[in-house]
């Protein structure tokens, strides 16, 4: 019988396929106590499952590139670290050896016990790590189930399947995306989570907050995932299928129309030119940026060079990557961000500071770079050499205060002198910019502008820090919202300061590539957007419909909003002239 389950749209689109349920929290485990002579065998099975889970994560990490790697690797690293956590492993062994628990029951017991500990924590960041713990242990339980019943418990999606889950980790989505996954329906989750962002990058329709999905959908049910209306239709009718086919035809027509914009100028309805840049990490990203008519690369992430091997990349390795990037853009400007290695990423690169109680607010970004001047200088030399092949800007992440920029400039000056002494011809000027993602940097932006040639706003982290809200925590959806007045006023302050200083300001966070927020950003005075290459055509299309002068006149009204609900209503009202 047909049933419609409402949800919140996290990634637009539609898909028709068979349901594949993932309910690791409901796995049936054998709770019979172990006999004494079964303990050694049970421990062997448990350790084999843990080793298999570690191997799967390593293999997945090695396969990922570009957008997938960017969004997923930090989660893979975090999960890998949890799988090696001594307290977790010791507890599992004790449950089997002393408590006579079978491996699956021991994992479930440890998951429930540690989840309760995380849930009781006052710190919202630490409390949110409960989801990582559950996903890691569920992965190991999955391995155990596959060992005993591979056909029934295999979680990898087959062609034509729609995943139905409570929540899905980015690593799991990346793994399934390569096996024909068509879409995702989550019973919980946030539209601002990393998984939702990844789904949008992959073009996978996704619903979150579909509360009854796990109880009302069964394996192999035919599902029409309608992430345009915000519903999952179980056992769709002929009328539903007709609607789906009509959407497919319209989507194909829209795709062909947008493709024609690849070589079109990016201009508002009243003739104002807007810069559309690409966020990139691989050669494929660069090729897509060129194909879609990007005005340059606004953010090139370099940390993948530090994470793909266990040894630090040499100057030559980095030089080749940066040179290929610059040449691949054919004379268009390229912004290279210096290594943005934070907590887990720095640990993977062998640069982490041990014993940090809160690594999310610790030695990361430029703070880490300045603690390792020899490693940083190697990167600086590679960037300077690559700048001989085309226009390059350098972006410094996690800047908090001016002395960090002064220190970076000093290192660049010394490296330049070394290279000139070695007979390498260098460009006369290399613009240096600050990434604005720390609230202190945004508030004190005028001081930073004295030492930087341009700014790039990283709204993903800035919003989390300003609002003290994890974007992946669906319990905080009413707080983590791009239209929060405090965030809007801070963005306006930074953009206005850059304009007064006559220095470029770009925005490279998630909202830059979301056409729903294009009018907002133009209203705040932004004229340079940087986004994933897949989003360029939609944003260019949206810009062409907007009147820049009208939007700028409305900014004051928008900035008077007291709540994000008021801001949203005002934005809808003010976006176009009456």
The residues annotated as belonging to the active site are 194, 508
Task: Provide the edge-to-edge strand list for the sheet that holds 181-186.
Answer: 3-6, 231-234, 222-226, 14-22, 161-165, 181-186, 206-208, 8-11
Map tokens 């390792």 to a residue.
Answer: 372
Map tokens 């035809």 to a residue.
Answer: 249
Q: DSSP code of 404?
A: H
- Residue 146's SS3 state is helix
Q: Which residues pair with 21 in a beta bridge?
A: 164
How far apart are alpha carbons 63 and 75 in whole angstroms? Answer: 15
Cβ pair 433, 455 in contact under 8 A: yes
- Residue 473's SS3 state is coil
Q: DSSP code of 310?
A: S
How far apart are alpha carbons 423 and 412 in whole angstroms? Answer: 16
Of 194, 159, 188, which Cα lies nearest the Cα of 15?
159
Residue 431, classified by CB atoms within 10 Å of its CB into exposed (0-12), middle (13-18) or buried (19+), is: middle
Of 452, 455, 453, which Cα lies nearest the Cα of 406?
452
Strands 392-396 and 3-6 turn out to be unpaired
Q: What would the two tokens of residue 181 be? A: 């996954």
CA dihedral 148, 152, 153, 158 (to 10 degrees): 140
Strands 222-226 and 14-22 turn out to be antiparallel
Cβ pair 349, 306 in contact under 8 A: yes
């Amino acid at each position: 019988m047909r049933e419609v389950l409402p949800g919140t749209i996290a990634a637009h689109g539609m898909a028709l396929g068979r349901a594949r349920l993932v309910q690791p929290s409901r796995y049936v485990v054998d709770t019979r106590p172990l006999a004494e002579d079964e303990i050694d065998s049970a421990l062997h099975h448990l350790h084999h499952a843990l080793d298999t889970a570690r191997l799967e994560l390593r293999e997945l990490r090695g396969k990922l590139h570009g957008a997938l790697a960017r969004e997923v690797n930090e989660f893979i690293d975090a999960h890998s670290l949890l799988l090696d956590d001594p307290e977790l492993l010791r507890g599992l062994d004790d449950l089997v050896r002393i408590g006579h628990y079978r491996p699956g029951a021991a994992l479930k017991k440890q998951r429930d016990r540690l989840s309760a500990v995380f849930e009781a924590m006052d710190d919202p960041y630490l409390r949110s790590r409960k989801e990582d713990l559950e996903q890691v242990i569920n992965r190991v339980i999955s391995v155990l189930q596959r060992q005993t019943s591979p056909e029934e418990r295999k979680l990898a999606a087959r062609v034509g399947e729609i995943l139905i889950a409570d929540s899905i980790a980015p690593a799991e989505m990346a793994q399934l995306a390569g096996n024909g996954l068509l879409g995702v329906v989550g019973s919980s989750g946030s539209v601002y989570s990393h998984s939702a962002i990844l789904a949008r990058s992959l073009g996978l329709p996704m619903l979150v907050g579909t509360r009854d999905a796990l109880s009302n959908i069964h394996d192999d049910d035919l599902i029409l995932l309608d992430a345009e209306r915000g519903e999952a239709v179980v056992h769709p009718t002929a009328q539903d299928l007709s609607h789906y086919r009509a959407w497919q035809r319209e989507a194909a027509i829209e795709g062909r129309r947008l493709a024609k914009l690849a070589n079109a100028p990016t201009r508002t309805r009243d003739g104002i030119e807007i810069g559309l840049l690409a966020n990139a990490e691989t050669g494929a990203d660069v090729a897509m940026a060129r194909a879609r008519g990007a005005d340059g690369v606004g953010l090139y992430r370099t940390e993948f060079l530090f994470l793909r091997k266990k040894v630090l990349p040499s100057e030559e390795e980095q030089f080749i990557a940066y040179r290929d990037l610059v040449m691949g853009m054919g004379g268009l400007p390229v912004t290279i961000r210096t290594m943005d290695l934070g907590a887990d990423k720095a640990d993977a690169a062998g640069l982490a500071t041990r014993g940090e109680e809160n690594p999310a607010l610790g030695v990361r970004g430029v703070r880490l770079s300045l603690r390792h001047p020899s490693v940083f200088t190697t990167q600086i030399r590679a960037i300077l050499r690559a700048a001989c092949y085309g226009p390059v800007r350098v972006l410094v992440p996690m800047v908090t205060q001016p002395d960090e920029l002064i220190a970076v400039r000093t290192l660049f000056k010394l490296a330049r002198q070394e290279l000139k002494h070695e007979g390498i011809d260098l460009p006369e000027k290399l613009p240096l910019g600050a990434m604005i993602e720390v609230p202190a940097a945004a508030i004190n932006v005028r001081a930073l502008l004295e030492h930087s040639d341009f700014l790039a706003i990283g709204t993903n982290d800035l919003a989390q820090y300003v609002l003290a809200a994890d974007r992946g925590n669906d319990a905080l959806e009413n707080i983590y919202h791009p239209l929060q007045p405090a965030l809007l006023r801070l963005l306006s302050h930074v953009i206005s300061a850059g304009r007064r200083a006559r220095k470029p300001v770009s925005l490279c966070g998630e909202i830059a590539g979301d056409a729903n927020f294009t009018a907002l950003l133009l209203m705040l005075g932004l004229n340079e957007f940087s986004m994933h290459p897949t989003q360029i055509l939609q944003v260019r299309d949206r810009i062409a419909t907007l009147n820049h002068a009208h939007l700028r006149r409305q900014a004051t009204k928008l900035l008077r909003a007291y709540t994000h609900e008021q801001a949203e209503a005002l934005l809808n009202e003010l976006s176009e002239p009456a």
